[in-house]
Structure 1
Amino acid sequence: MFRIEAEVDNRRRDLLRSRLRDSNTEASPVLRALRGTPAEHELPLHLWALDETGTLAGGLVGHTWTTWLHITYLWVAEPHRDEGLGSRLLTRAEHIARTERACRGARLETWDFQAPRFYRRHGYRTVCAIPDYPPGLTEYTLIKPLG
């Protein structure tokens, strides 16, 4: 007999994540070869674009893991859009991932109202589309080989 609880519990969340990572590492020859947990090989990659006053004009937040760059956030302030800043941030992140971290691919998620066309112009291709996530929107997963 089990009791199921629905409550936010960060201690249990961390324990569950640790146990899942241990199970995944044990089951995967690729992860076992890394010698350590996946989190130990995850390196943050943050880029910040500041205007002449030092105000945040845009940024990219992601991380690299094994041979992949994962872009979590890419944002440019409205007054600086259509100036190429987003392209510069993306290109710089890909360059760092490829040349300094030996990444061979990049991945990200975006919604249909955000920037799928922007990423496609930069060589990304859609590998997954989830319609109605959330209702009325489509979420896309895109990838790009980094060469």
Structure 2
Amino acid sequence: MFRFETEVDKERGLLLRSLLRDTNTAASPAIRALRGTPDERELPLQVWAFDPADGSLAGGLDAHVWATWLHVDLLWVADRHRGAGLGSRLLTEAENLAVEHHGCANSRLETWDFQAPGFYRQHGYEVVSVIPDYPPGVKEFTLTKRLG
């Protein structure tokens, strides 16, 4: 069974960004830079999953809350754990924490066409915008969901 933690951990957040950057770079050389640091009014929210076999990071979700919105910045699951529901569990845990501890009413996120727009739709998210060629050759989707 996975071990989960919800404690905000800056080093793991940086690791998660690095791991997702590596995954995205491998999938699409067109991707260049990640977002900058969040506005200081934003509160971080992170959920971690650890592999029961060796304790390594199996997946993680890095987000922030602001103005009754959860903004999922990154969701990453290790290759060997994909397709087993871990991404769903990470997302659900973050949404529940956002509602229960931060009073969030909505969630938003961005994803690229080669990542997971179908995954988020299965979890109740709706596409509100599509940006073609952001970066060139890739579509970026913005999705939102009413929480609670």
* CA drift at 1:39: 4.2
Aligned partner letter, 2:42:
E
| SS of match in other structure, 1:46 | strand
Where is the helix percentage greater, Structure 1 or Structure 2?
1
Aligned partner letter, 1:49:
A
Q: Deviations over 1:80-127 (max 9, x none)?
A: 001100000000000000111100000000000000000000000011
| Unmatched 5+ stretches in structure 2 | 1-37
TM-score of the aligned structures, taking structure 2 as reference length: 0.72
Q: What CA RMSD, in Å, does the superposition of the two structures yield over aligned residues?
A: 1.3
CA distance in 1, matches of 2:39, 2:112: 26
| SS of match in other structure, 2:108 | strand
Which residue is 1:76 aligned to? Answer: 77
TM-score of the aligned structures, taking structure 1 as reference length: 0.72
| Residue-pair matches, total | 110
1:62-141 aligned within 5 A: 62-141=63-142
Q: Deviations over 1:18-72 (max 9, x none)?
A: xxxxxxxxxxxxxxxxxxxx94541100111110211000000010012000000
Contact 1:41 1:66 in 2 (8 A): no
Aligned partner letter, 2:48:
W
Aligned partner letter, 2:100:
T
* CA drift at 1:132: 1.1
CA distance in 1, matches of 2:47, 2:97: 10
CA distance in 1, matches of 2:132, 2:40: 34
Using CA pairs below 8 Å that are at least 6 residues apart, which structure has the higher relative contact order?
Answer: 2
CA distance in 2, matches of 1:144, 1:125: 6
| Unmatched 5+ stretches in structure 1 | 1-37
Aligned partner letter, 1:125:
E
